[in-house]
Amino acid sequence: MVMLSASPSGALPPGDFPSDTDFILAGSFEEEVLSHLHRELLRHFELAHQISLHGTDQILRDLNEEEQIRTQAVADAQAALKMASDDWDTMRTHVTAECGATIESYEVSLTRSEEHVSSARSDFNGAMEMARVAVQSANHLRVAKLIDLEHNVALASQTQTRKTRFARRSLDETINDMYSEYGNSRNTLRRVERRLDEAQTRTQALIAERNELQDSTIYDVWEGLRIPMLENEIAVSRADETNAEAIVADARSARATDGYQRRKEAILASRIDLENIQANGAQALAAAQDALAAADIQTSQVLEDAKALFDSTRTGPQYDELQSTLHNLEQFKIENEPAYKEAQQSIADLLDSPLHQAYISAKEEVRERMGDVQQVQASRSLLSFFSDMYSQELERAQWVLDRQDSAFRVTKVNVSGSLQGFLGAEGTHPQALNAELEVEIGGCSRAISTQWHTATAETFVIDVFK
């Protein structure tokens, strides 16, 4: 083999390479190619040796006869190739048609079954996604609604507390205003009325005791002496009673004024406002709590219904359809895959079949026979070169043949040139690469320059030989 590498012939522009960008090719022949070159050169030395023995005319006649034989061998090989090719084409066409139909039918049916599975899976996934979204939406709606109503409950409680505190403060201020203006008249009046009742009760008790002494049938002098004392006590008690009545009259007179009545009515109104605010606040709070409880029940039911739909969808008609298509697909593979694989194997085995091997061998035989003809033609092209040589120079070929590897050896072949020229770019004729050889002849190194192209390999060998 010839290993080639390429490097840009100049600076490359950024981006994509222009179509006319050229590269410099460089490479060397591997050992296998060098050995083949050595064998071909020895064959030419053999030809020179034969010429030295038998003369150019005899060798030319021998080459012409050999070319006819080898040309006939090429024709025979081509005929054998035609038969092998026909047999191979017939079997390949038959196997390909028969097995191809099986493979195509299987793949079409498999594709159709897989499309059914894909469609069923898409329907199932779509239904599951809708059910999932429904659960998610129900949950989000429930959370949002409960948060909103819990806020209403908290707001109602805060409003009730605030209004109650304000109304209670207003009532306290009204009571304080009355106390600051009239004092604690009610308690004073009650205390004075209680004092009056006590004085009246005491007076009546003293009068009863006196009357009892005066009406007694048994008059006791010593008891009679107590009557004046009782009269004095009755007088004192009546004085206290009169004084208490005056104080009660004054207190009642103060409570009967318009200002006092207005203060009293204001206190009563404030107390009624407080009671109304407490009642209304409790009602509003209860209504908010009832709305929260009702929403909790209603949204919980909606969420449970969505979850139930989600659970039923997982095992519902779409799920059954998906499982059915998967079962059908698996059953189809079980029933048809063996035949499909057998057909594939039959096509794969074509390359290992005897007919294909015979066809490849026939092609190789034609190539070798044509190579034989090219060798004869190459040898004949050297006759004119040999005819100009002296016999002693031709006899040197025997010396080379006797020594072979020690007489000469090609140690290295380097090739280089333009990639565009080598490929024949833009419609130009392909150009050969420059070849630099290092050859050892009789132990001495020598450099040889020539040209090499894959299409003219035999010419390259001849050039090196010359």
Of the candidates 291, 311, 331, which is a domain's last residue?
Answer: 311
Together in a domain, 409 and 459: yes
In the DSSP assignment, the letter for residue 13 is P
State whether the Cα torsion 281-286-289-294 is positive or negative. Answer: negative
Residues 170 and 294 in one domain: yes
d(CA 366, CA 313): 71
Compute φ and ψ for 261, nearest 5 degrees: -65, -40
The yes-or-no verdict on residue 101 having pLDDT over 80 is yes
Cα–Cα distance for residue pair 322/316, rounded to 1 Å: 10
pLDDT in tens, 370-425: 877 877 777 776 666 666 554 545 556 555 655 666 666 777 778 787 766 666 65
361 and 259 fall within a common domain: no
Same domain for 259 and 171, yes or no, is yes
Same domain flag for 194 and 292: yes
Q: Considering the domain boundaries, does residue 340 fall inside one?
A: no
Instruction: Report the pLDDT value the prediction gives residue 66, as an integer from 0 to 100.
Output: 82
Give 393-456 as a DSSP string.
Answer: HHHHHHHHHHHGGGTEEEEEEEEEEEHHHHHTGGGPPPPPEEEEEEEEETTEEEEEEEEE-GGG
What is the model's pTM? 0.46
CATH code for position 229: 1.10.287
- Write the DSSP assignment of 313-369 as a string of letters: HHTSHHHHHHHHHHHHHHHHHHHHHHHHHHHHHHHHGGGGSHHHHHHHHHHHHHHHH
Q: Of 256, 285, 311, which closes a domain?
A: 311
Q: Is residue 380 assigned to a domain?
A: yes
Lookup: tokens for 311:
């659970």
User: Which domain range does residue 161 map to?
Assistant: 140-311
The per-residue pLDDT for 390 is 45
> b/e per residue, 99-123, with b = 16+ CB within 10 A?
beebbeebeeebeebeebbeebeeb
Tell me, yes or no, whether 330 lies in a domain: no
Does residue 43 lie in a domain region?
yes
Query: Any idea which of 6-15, 27-36, 164-173, 452-461 has the lowest mean pLDDT?
Result: 6-15
- Does residue 433 form part of some domain? yes
C-alpha closest to that of 191 among 110, 251, 239: 251
Contact (Cβ atoms closer than 8 angstroms) between residue 386 and residue 56: yes
Top pLDDT among 444 and 330 is at 330
Residues 304 and 380 occupy one common structural domain: no
Percentage of the residues of the chain whose pLDDT score is greater than 90: 14
User: Coil, strand, or helix at residue 24?
Assistant: strand
Q: Is 65 part of a structural domain of the chain?
A: no
